[in-house]
């Protein structure tokens, strides 16, 4: 499917075009490798500690938190079994998914618009700060983006008269996406709406029956995949947890602008606002001239907007901004189509600009990648929770911890610290010991996350200063401080 599209492009495009595409892929690889070993974040640390690290029977049946992206957990367990529990190994499935997103974006943009649009779209996605972030974050979101793009490619084939068994592949990809995260409903619904609209516009309404059958098969496969969770914790664990249950209408209308706004801002992570605005203008230009830009009468962006808006209203729950990440390749494809169209508006320079498309695509990828690196935006982004000093803190703590100690942290500091302590063979009991029985309480204050010592003490035994000796700073790290409190009556105990 994907490789067939890439093989066709390789055969039909010019040498310069092929070289440019390879350069863009290399840029994407280099940029993602740079951050593959960044400090572990909160969500991915929880994923490892509470799911990936557990036995198979628990890893694929526990749904204590929606944090367990089941298909991703399966892949991460296989990676950890093969390569150990180092950060890069835990992140390997997300990394590979992120790399395939670059290739898939090229294939989708080429199928929907043109080869030149595809080159620009691939350049944008290759150097996207937020896609780099989620390609180096052990979560299932890069797999969701990949599943969406594969579904679009399958939909294109189905509209061009592919064999009926293509519907089986469609159902399997949809089920794997849903098994990864239930929010796959957003991109899956968008693709289905697009297929249905295209069939109706083209007078092929009889094909809708096959679409519904494929969705039925996908639903059955999804239920089968979730059956360990359902038998252990019930369906409400999946569809009724606090992160997905509908909110009241007042909260929804108050929160949805913030959610959408944060999602759109994240798409320009590490890129100057003027560059983002330029890409937005190109995307709007392509929307305005859809009939000239696209090979299809109905556009994927229209279907995505209609379905997403409908699903948001039905559920009336503002999702996390990262839930909208699958729309970024659509926006990139639109911007690429807009750039390709703009080159054609001046016939005198059209041939020159077309010839320079490969160089312009590579230049765009290089400039954006350098901007992302120079801004340190990926490393400093607080998405899914950070503790930048977690590994250094684990080294400092492992040297001083002794029985009776309690390490006091706040979210999101706790899970990354626990992960690195676990790697050093230090028990997690230090993070959960009852403070009332602790002889020493060691407080970790992460200033990067806006934490203050007073806030941590206010919820702790330490607020009773008569019971503890004056503080001693154990370590001062780049973004955090470790402070020890000794119980005054420790010797008596």
When pLDDT is averaged across residues 171-200 and rounded to a whole number, the result is: 97
Q: What pLDDT was estimated at residue 64?
A: 80
Arithmetic mean of pLDDT, 109-126: 96
- What was the pLDDT predicted at 10? 84
CB atoms within 10 A of CB 491: 8
**Residue 356 sits in the same domain as residue 468:** no
Q: Are 375 and 478 in the same domain?
A: no
The rounded Cα 174 to chain-centroid distance in angstroms is: 17
> Structurally, how many domains does the chain consist of?
2
Is 294 among the domain residues? yes
- What does the pLDDT read at residue 349? 60
Q: In angstroms, what is the C-alpha Rg of the chain?
A: 25
Percent helix, percent strand, percent coil in the chain, to nearest 5: 70, 5, 25
Q: Are 367 and 403 in contact (CB under 8 A)?
A: no
What's the CA gap between 104 and 109, in Å, rounded? 8
The reported pLDDT for the residue numbered 162 is: 80
CA proximity to 365, closest of 22, 20, 24: 24
pLDDT, average across residues 106-130:
96
The pLDDT > 70 percentage for the chain reads 97
Q: Is-contact 169 1, C-beta < 8 A?
A: yes
Q: Are residues 140 and 38 in the same domain?
A: yes
Q: Which residue has the higher pLDDT, 207 or 134?
A: 134
**355 and 401 belong to one structural domain:** no
- pLDDT of 370 > 70? The answer is yes
User: Residue 417 phi/psi, 5° resolution?
Assistant: -65, -40
pLDDT above 50: residue 277 = yes
DSSP conformation letters of 42-55: HHHHHHIIIIITS-
- The answer to whether residue 441 is domain-embedded is yes
In the predicted model, what is the mean pLDDT of residues 175-185? 97
Q: Phi and psi for 246 in degrees, rounded to 5?
A: -60, 140
Mean pLDDT of the residues in the chain: 93
Helix (H) or strand (E) holding 356: none
295 DSSP assignment: S
pLDDT score recorded for residue 348: 60
Domain membership of residue 59 (yes or no) is: yes
Least confident interval from 208-212, 351-355, 362-366, 392-396:
351-355
Tell me what pLDDT residue 65 has.
Answer: 75
- The verdict on residue 385 lying in a domain is no
The answer to whether residues 160 and 307 belong to one domain is yes
Q: Write the burial class of residue 421 (CB in 10 Å: 0-12 exposed, 13-18 middle, 19+ buried).
A: buried
Q: Are 72 and 89 in contact (CB under 8 A)?
A: no
Among 348, 380, 412, residue at a domain's last position? 380
Q: Are residues 418 and 363 in the same domain?
A: no
Q: Check whether residue 24 and residue 148 sit in a common domain.
A: yes
In terms of DSSP bridges, do strands 440-446 and 405-408 run parallel, antiparallel, or are they unpaired?
Answer: parallel
Average pLDDT over residues 253-278: 94
What proportion of the chain, given as a percentage, has pLDDT over 90?
79
Q: Tell me the average pLDDT across 208-228.
A: 96
| Last residue in a domain, options 327, 352, 380 | 380
Same domain, 266 and 360: yes
Q: Give the range among 42-56, 275-289, 459-473 with minimum mean pLDDT.
A: 459-473
Q: Is the pLDDT of residue 462 over 90?
A: no
Q: Which of 4-13, 96-105, 154-163 has the lowest mean pLDDT?
A: 4-13
Domain that holds residue 331: 2-380
Q: 171: pLDDT confidence band, cut at 50, 70 and 90?
A: very high
* One domain, residues 240 and 363: yes
pLDDT at 259 over 50: yes
- Identify the CA nearest to 28 among candidates 148, 124, 115: 124
- Same domain, residue pair 221 and 331: yes
Residues 356, 420 within the same domain: no
Mean pLDDT (whole number) for 170-189: 97
* 396, 154 contact by CB (below 8 A): no
> pLDDT tens for residues 86-113?
999 999 999 999 999 999 999 999 999 9
Give residue 492's pLDDT band: very low, low, confident or very high (50, 70, 90).
very low
Local confidence band at 493 (pLDDT 50, 70, 90 cut-offs): very low
Q: What is the pLDDT of residue 66?
A: 80
Across 132-146, average pLDDT: 98
- pLDDT score at 487: 87
Instruction: Reply yes or no on whether the pLDDT at 67 is more than 90.
Output: no
Per-residue pLDDT of 407-438, as tens digits, reads 999 999 999 999 999 999 999 999 999 998 89
Within a domain: 285: yes
Do 258 and 407 share a domain, yes or no?
no
Cβ partners under 8 Å of residue 418, min gap 6:
45, 49, 428, 431
Query: Where among 360, 380, 400 does a domain terminate?
Result: 380
3-class secondary-structure state, position 487? strand
491, part of any domain:
no
Mean pLDDT of 394-402: 95
Nearest CA to 282 out of 123, 440, 51 is that of 123
Average the pLDDT over 343-366 and give the result. 79
Nearest to 218 by CA among 294, 147, 128, 118: 147
What is the side-by-side order of every strand in the sheet holding 405-408? Answer: 405-408, 440-446, 480-486, 472-476
């Amino acid at each position: 499917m994907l490789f067939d599209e890439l093989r066709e492009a390789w055969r039909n495009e010019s040498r310069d075009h092929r070289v440019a595409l390879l350069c863009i892929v290399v840029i994407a690889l280099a940029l993602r490798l740079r951050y593959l070993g960044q400090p572990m974040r909160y969500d991915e640390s929880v994923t490892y500690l509470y799911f990936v690290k557990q036995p198979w029977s628990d890893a694929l049946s526990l749904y204590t938190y929606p944090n367990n992206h089941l298909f991703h957990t399966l892949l991460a367990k296989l990676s950890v079994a093969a390569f150990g529990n180092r950060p890069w190994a835990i992140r390997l499935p997300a990394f590979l998914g992120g790399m395939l997103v670059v290739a898939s974006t090229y294939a989708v943009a080429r199928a929907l618009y043109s080869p030149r649009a595809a080159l620009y779209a691939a350049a944008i996605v290759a150097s996207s700060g937020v896609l780099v972030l989620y390609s180096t974050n052990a979560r299932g979101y890069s797999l969701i983006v990949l599943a969406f793009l594969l579904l679009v490619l399958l939909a294109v084939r189905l509209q061009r008269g592919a064999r009926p068994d293509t519907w089986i592949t469609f159902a399997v990809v949809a089920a794997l996406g849903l098994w990864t995260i239930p929010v796959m409903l957003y991109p899956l619904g968008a693709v289905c709406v697009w297929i249905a609209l295209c069939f109706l516009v083209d007078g092929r309404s009889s094909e809708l029956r096959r679409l519904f059958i494929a969705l039925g098969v996908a639903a059955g496969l999804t239920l089968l995949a979730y059956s360990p969770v359902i038998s252990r914790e019930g369906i409400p664990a999946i569809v009724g947890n606090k992160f997905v249950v509908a909110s009241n209408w007042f909260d929804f209308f108050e929160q949805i602008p913030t959610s959408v706004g944060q999602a759109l801002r994240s798409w320009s992570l590490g890129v100057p606002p003027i560059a983002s605005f330029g890409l937005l203008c190109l995307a709007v230009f392509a929307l305005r001239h859809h009939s000239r830009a696209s090979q299809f009468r109905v556009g994927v962006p229209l279907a995505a907007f209609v379905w997403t808006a409908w699903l948001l209203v039905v559920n009336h729950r503002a999702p996390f901004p990262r839930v909208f990440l699958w729309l970024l390749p659509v926006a990139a494809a639109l911007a690429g189509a807009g750039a390709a169209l703009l080159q054609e508006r001046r016939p005198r320079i059209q041939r020159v600009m077309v010839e320079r498309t490969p160089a312009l695509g590579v230049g765009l990828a290089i400039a954006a990648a350098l901007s992302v690196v120079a801004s340190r935006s990926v490393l400093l982004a607080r998405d899914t929770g950070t503790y930048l000093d977690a590994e250094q803190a684990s080294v400092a703590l492992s040297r001083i911890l002794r029985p009776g100690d309690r390490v006091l942290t706040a979210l999101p500091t706790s899970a990354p610290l626990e992960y690195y302590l676990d790697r050093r063979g230090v028990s997690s009991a230090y993070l959960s010991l009852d403070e009332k029985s602790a002889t020493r309480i060691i407080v970790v204050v992460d200033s990067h996350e806006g934490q203050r010592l007073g806030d941590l003490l206010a919820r702790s035994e330490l607020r009773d200063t008569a019971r503890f000796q004056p503080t001693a700073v154990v370590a001062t790290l780049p973004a955090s401080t470790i402070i020890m409190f000794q119980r005054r009556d420790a010797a008596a105990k």
